Amino acid sequence: MVDGQWLMKKTEAVQASCVNHEPSNINHPARRVMLREKYKTEIDHILSRYPVRRSALLPLLYLAQEEDGYVTEAAMKEIAGLLRLTPSQVYETVTFYTMLNLKPVGRFHIQVCKSLMCALVGSDTVIGWLNTRVGVGPGETTADKLFTLSVVECLGACGTGPMMQINDEYYERLTEDKVDRILADLKRDGTSPLKTGPFMWPEPAGERCQ
Amino acid sequence: MRQYELILTKNMMQPGYTGLREEYERAGGYQALRKVLGKIPPAGVTELVMKSGLRGRGGAGFPTGVKWGFLPKDYRGPKYLCCNADESEPGTFKDRQLMERDPHQLLEGMVLAAYAIGAETSYIYIRGEFVLGARILEKAIGEARAAGYIGTNVLGSGITADVWVHRGAGAYICGEETALLESLEGKRGLPRVKPPFPATHGLYGKPTVVNNVETLANLPHIVDRGPEWFASIGSPPKSTGTRVFCVSGHVKRPGNYEVPMGITVRELVYEHAGGMRSDKPLKAFIPGGASAPFLTPEHLDVKLDFESVAQAGSMLGSGGVTVMEEGTSMVWAALRLMEFFYHESCGKCSPCREGSSWLTQTLRRILDGRGRTTDLDTLTELCKNIAGRTVCAFGDAEVAPIESTLKYWRHEYEALIKAAAHHAVDGHGSGSGLLMPAGRH
Ligand SMILES: Cc1cc2nc3c(=O)[nH]c(=O)nc-3n(C[C@H](O)[C@H](O)[C@H](O)COP(=O)(O)O)c2cc1C
Ligand code: FES
């Protein structure tokens, strides 16, 4: 994942931006909007929550990832400028966290939990199903950029395994049929009613979901 | 099946309860806050909590009131409260339910704690994957702010208590309290050397309390019904109150069960969780999350309280109880957990960073039928050199699955190694016949 080139490409423009707090995107014509322009109110609100600017780093990285689908070099530079950090301070933080992507992922990022509790109830079988249905292995993205399949560690839903997260949603107590329905729903509608939550298991009397 | 009084999960068990502010208020919510503000001084609240015997639900079980008491008394500057909602210990899924189903219960607990310790700003550090949980909390905070429970001048008392949600971004270690603080400061989540403890040098170097979601959710009830009532529940005097146990693995009805501390594992597994999922008997269980050593059927009558589980050689930890049936390979189970720890080691301390990789490779080799006769000594030696030699308790946690499976199921390791030796000599591969689900070991 380490994008070594990026570190070497620290241009004067970036260094200057860290001093002036005026980030620049000259190396990245692909990025049309600056986060600061598009999300001014949100960024101000985020900054207001913390007495120390650097605390806003993860929230701003999330904002950037939402905007671009992954954390781009341009976004890291811009955020460094906003928070008065060096680009490498931003980069070293990004590389620590698994949810921040340094390269693009598919439109639907499927993350299946393989930790012990899910493995006891069949997560490896689910990975196999997904593998054949989607046609790519763990860590890969389909050619049409629709799906990325990842195999991950515990997502905090161990009593309702096997489970997976797709983008922001959890899907739990998976069966083969359910996996098929979820994939079909996503392809057709971009979302699936089989997602779970607000979470409670076992469910209280009178409530029934899938 | 014996039924017990529900405390933390009472509201959410009501049909149709969605956790909105009015519903929480109708169920008696925010009364504890009204009872305290302007009537009981902050130190009085800490005293109540001390008297209740409440201990942390995040893993270490530290007495909550005592922890609060460590904050410097005459400190004038800012202090912070951080709610640990990282819920990253494999086998644990209770905080998610407490937050998504009854968010105001947590918020009321947080304002009570913030008042007691004098924190004007509090953060809920929630694991990044809990997107829905974060949204629900944000909404609840908005409702509470509109009603004057959160913000400046809480209920006209002149007290400021702000609460913000801060999302993590995928890192188990950020559940460790000092790694959490680093992460909240916008850095890599590397645990800090202690002392100094967060009570004196926490968030931004200021006095800070870190408490788990479930710990904080207990506070309104303690204030409302009195510390004596709370201290009479569970296994007093050392393990008071209920626990929301998270049961997973090979049981009929996995899920969250709130019961008083001190019921037996047998009762939890066979009555509440419905017993084993098939006719295969129970072979092993973990009583308190992935960091807790494995136990055996002989330990089924161990009481689920802090002391009893520790005496049995494990720990109550986060309350995650994972059950495994006969036929499960314990070497495989240990490897699955070890892979987790290897993946999640933050890399700060070499015994853990290098050791977790070495342990994982050795286990994988044994399981793949390439084990060597010296491997068991290697594992033992490695464990001895990791536990207690790292900045945080992660080191102790990662050796737990290996040391405990070596203790109770050493023969399974030996059989695999013996089969490997045979295989090397005469070409006969012979598996252990135990369940090792296909795929990446
Ligand atoms: C590796 C590691 C991971 C931890 N993960 C969590 C966690 O996910 N949630 C939590 O509440 N406590 C976790 N803890 C415990 C915290 O460090 C801390 O003890 C706890 O949040 C204190 O709150 P309590 O006293 O209310 O339990 C973890 C500890 C370690 C060493
Ligand atoms: S083990 Fe899969 S969610 Fe916890």
Task: Report residue A54 as tokens.
Answer: 């650097």
Helices (H), B127-212: 131-146, 177-184
Farthest CA pair distance, chain A: 64
Q: Are A55 and B184 in contact (CB under 8 A)?
A: yes
Domain B234-325 has CATH 3.40.50.720: no
Condensed to tens digits (0 to 9), the pLDDT of residues A103-115 reads 999 999 999 999 9
Q: Are B396 and B349 in contact (CB under 8 A)?
A: no
User: Right CATH number for B11-231 from 3.30.450.20, 3.40.1190.20, 3.40.50.11540, 3.30.420.40?
Assistant: 3.40.50.11540
- Of B342, B350, B328, B344, which is closest to residue B405 (Cα–Cα)? B328
Given this model, what pLDDT does residue A57 score? 98
Of the pLDDT bands very low, low, confident and very high (cuts 50, 70, 90), residue A206 is low
Q: Do domains B234-325 and B330-425 have the same CATH topology?
A: no
Given this model, what pLDDT does residue B123 score? 98
Task: State the Cα–Cα distance between residues B274 and B67, nearest whole angstrom.
Answer: 37
Helix (H, G, I), strand (E, B) or coil at A91: helix
Q: Which residues of B touch A207 (CB under 8 A)?
A: 15
Mutate to test the interface with A, among B121, B129, B214 (most CBs of A within 10 A): B129
Given this model, what pLDDT does residue A32 score? 57
Q: Is B90 in the pocket of ligand 2 (CB under 6 A)?
A: yes
Check A128 against B171: CB less than 8 A apart. no
Given this model, what pLDDT does residue B433 score? 55
Task: State the Cα–Cα distance between residues B372 and B365, nearest whole angstrom.
Answer: 8
Task: State the Cα–Cα distance between residues B195 and B203, nearest whole angstrom.
Answer: 14
Given this model, what pLDDT does residue B303 score? 98
Which ligand does the CA of A124 lie closest to?
A: 2
Check B169 against A199: CB less than 8 A apart. no
Condensed to tens digits (0 to 9), the pLDDT of residues B8-17 reads 999 999 999 9
Which ligand does the CA of A126 lie closest to?
A: 2
Q: What is the ipTM score, two decimals?
A: 0.95
Q: Is A155 in the pocket of ligand 2 (CB under 6 A)?
A: yes
Task: Report residue B336 as tokens.
Answer: 């699955």
Out of B52, B82, B87, B212, mutate this one to test ligand 1's pocket (max ligand atoms within 8 Å of CB): namely: B212
Given this model, what pLDDT does residue B432 score? 52
- Name the residue of chain A whose CA is nearest to B101's CA: A198
Task: State the Cα–Cα distance between residues A46 and B164, nearest whole angstrom.
Answer: 10
Q: Is B103 in the pocket of ligand 1 (CB under 6 A)?
A: no
Q: Is B95 in the pocket of ligand 1 (CB under 6 A)?
A: no
Given this model, what pLDDT does residue A14 score? 37
Given this model, what pLDDT does residue B425 score? 60
Of the pLDDT bands very low, low, confident and very high (cuts 50, 70, 90), residue A13 is very low
Please list, in sequence order, all residues whose beta carbon lies within 8 angstroms of the beta carbon of residue B119, skipping any fewer than 6 positions away.
B78, B79, B80, B81, B113, B161, B208, B209
Average pLDDT over residues A39-54: 97
On the question of pLDDT at A12 being above 60, the answer is no
| Domains present along chain A, CATH in parentheses | 4-96 (no CATH), 108-189 (3.40.30.10)
Task: Report residue B19 as tokens.
Answer: 């956790």
Condensed to tens digits (0 to 9), the pLDDT of residues B98-154 reads 999 999 999 999 999 999 999 999 999 999 999 999 999 999 999 999 999 999 999
Residue predicted with more confidence, A206 or B252:
B252
Given this model, what pLDDT does residue B423 score? 74
Given this model, what pLDDT does residue B383 score? 98
Check B164 against A115: CB less than 8 A apart. no
Low-confidence residues of chain B, pLDDT below 70?
424-441
> pTM, whole model, 2 decimals?
0.93
Q: Which residues of A touch B136 (CB under 8 A)?
A: 198
Out of B50, B67, B84, mutate this one to test ligand 1's pocket (max ligand atoms within 8 Å of CB): namely: B84
Check A56 against B136: CB less than 8 A apart. no
Average pLDDT, chain A: 87
Task: Report residue B308 as tokens.
Answer: 């009893």
- Name the residue of chain A whose CA is nearest to B188's CA: A93
List the single residue in B12, B132, B169 with the smallest CB-CB distance to A97: B169
Given this model, what pLDDT does residue B23 score? 98
Residues in a beta bridge with B255: B247
Q: Map out the domains of chain B as residue ranges.
A: 11-231, 234-325, 330-425
Task: Report residue B133 as tokens.
Answer: 């949980």
Residue predicted with more confidence, A26 or A187:
A187
| Architecture of the domain delimited by B330-425 | Up-down Bundle (1.20)
Interface A:B, Cβ pairs < 8 A:
187
- Of A113, A148, A152, which is closest to residue A131 (Cα–Cα)? A148
Out of B210, B240, B344, mutate this one to test ligand 1's pocket (max ligand atoms within 8 Å of CB): namely: B210
